[in-house]
């Protein structure tokens, strides 16, 4: 189980301080929400800022690109030192070349699915990705409420992973608090992005530990069904 606090909910007047809090929190990943003002109706920050933060921590940088034209940004994020780049399934024909480009830049590859988009459209890509991000809010803003209708998508992603013997991670993002994190874990998620619920707490380390406990207590991914023993 991986806890990924989202920098979107950090204090932007004290970013270095919040990266230090993150470093001391025990969270494995730092989630970086990149918004372009076109794919989503908001703008966050870009590769220049990510590059400035990179020397402050060795933690895994998980970049989530909510951008209409990621191809122009991918080399810059790779150069800034991100470990994984997630692009959106809604980009249609662009998806295959983008996944290849991310891989060729030496980064892990993620694919995100928005709430209105059918999870079935992700099926052709499952063998090419390290992570499937099931969005649990419509992206663009932190602090929104978890959309429960997205939970069956997590279950479907976990079922495909089991049935096809694949090992992509299943990430959930949006409205993740201690309770919804546990419900997503039960459905099969193993990476939990949380902005408001984690960075909003004075004691980030305690909040990360509490979320970890919540997701571990429901058990992780269902183990693959053991093959029946051969008779005779
Ligand atoms: C939504 C972003 C999320 C966001 C989550 O557009 O992709 O990563 O930061 O924020 P909370 O946890 O506040 O819903
Ligand atoms: Zn995100």
Confirm whether 224 is domain-assigned.
no
Say what the pTM is. 0.94
Handedness of CA 178, 181, 185, 191 (dihedral sign): negative
Confirm whether 90 is domain-assigned.
yes
Confirm whether 222 is domain-assigned.
no
Confirm whether 117 is domain-assigned.
yes
**Chain segment 107-118, per-residue pLDDT in tens:** 999 999 999 999
Confirm whether 170 is domain-assigned.
yes
**Chain segment 139-161, per-residue pLDDT in tens:** 999 999 999 999 999 999 999 99
CATH code of 73's domain:
3.20.20.70
Helix (H, G, I), strand (E, B) or coil at 153: helix
What is the maximal distance between C-alpha atoms in the chain? Answer: 70
Residues 160-177: what's their mean pLDDT? 98
Confirm whether 20 is domain-assigned.
yes
Helix (H, G, I), strand (E, B) or coil at 147: coil
Confirm whether 223 is domain-assigned.
no
Residues 4-19: what's their mean pLDDT? 97
Can you give the pLDDT at residue 223? 45
Can you give the pLDDT at residue 90? 98
Q: Is it the case that residue 230 has pLDDT exceeding 60? A: no
Q: Can you tell me which atom of ligand 1 is nearest the CA of 137?
A: 1
Give the residue among 10, 87, 80 at the shortest CA–CA distance from 52. Answer: 80
Six-digit token string for 74 = 């991918």
Q: Are 133 and 111 in contact (CB under 8 A)?
A: yes
Can you give the pLDDT at residue 219? 58
Distance 95 CA to ligand 2 centre (A): 18
Residues 159-184: what's their mean pLDDT? 98
Domain with 154 in it: 2-216
Catalytic residue among 33, 36, 62, 190, which? 33
Rg (CA), the chain: 17
Question: Rounded CA gap, 190 and 186, in Å?
Answer: 9
Residues 162-187: what's their mean pLDDT? 98
Confirm whether 91 is domain-assigned.
yes
Which residue's CA is minimally distant from atom 10 of ligand 1?
142
Counting the structural domains of the chain, the total is 1
**Chain segment 30-82, per-residue pLDDT in tens:** 999 999 999 999 999 999 999 999 999 999 999 999 999 999 999 999 999 99
Can you give the pLDDT at residue 154? 98
Taking the CA of 5 as reference, the closest ligand is 1
């Amino acid at each position: 189980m991986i806890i990924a606090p989202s920098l979107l909910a950090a204090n932007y007047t004290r970013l270095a301080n919040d990266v230090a809090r993150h470093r001391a929190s025990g969270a494995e990943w730092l989630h970086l929400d990149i918004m372009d003002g076109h794919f989503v109706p908001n703008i966050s920050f870009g590769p220049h800022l990510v590059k400035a933060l990179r020397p402050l921590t060795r933690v895994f940088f998980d970049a989530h690109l909510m951008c209409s034209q990621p191809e122009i940004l991918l080399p810059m994020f790779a150069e800034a030192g991100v470990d994984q780049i997630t692009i959106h399934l809604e980009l249609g024909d662009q998806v295959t070349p983008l996944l290849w480009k991310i891989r060729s830049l030496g980064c892990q590859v993620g694919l995100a699915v928005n709430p209105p988009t059918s999870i079935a459209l992700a099926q052709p890509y499952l063998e090419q990705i390290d992570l499937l991000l099931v969005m649990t809010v419509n992206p663009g803003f932190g602090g929104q409420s978890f959309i429960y209708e997205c939970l069956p998508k997590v279950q479907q992603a976990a079922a495909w992973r089991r049935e096809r013997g694949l090992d992509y991670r299943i990430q959930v993002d949006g409205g993740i608090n201690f309770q919804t994190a546990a419900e997503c874990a039960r459905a099969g998620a193993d990476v939990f992005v949380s902005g408001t619920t984690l960075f909003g707490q004075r004691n980030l380390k305690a909040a990360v530990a509490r979320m970890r406990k919540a997701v571990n207590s429901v058990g992780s991914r269902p183990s693959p069904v053991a093959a029946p023993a051969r008779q005779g």
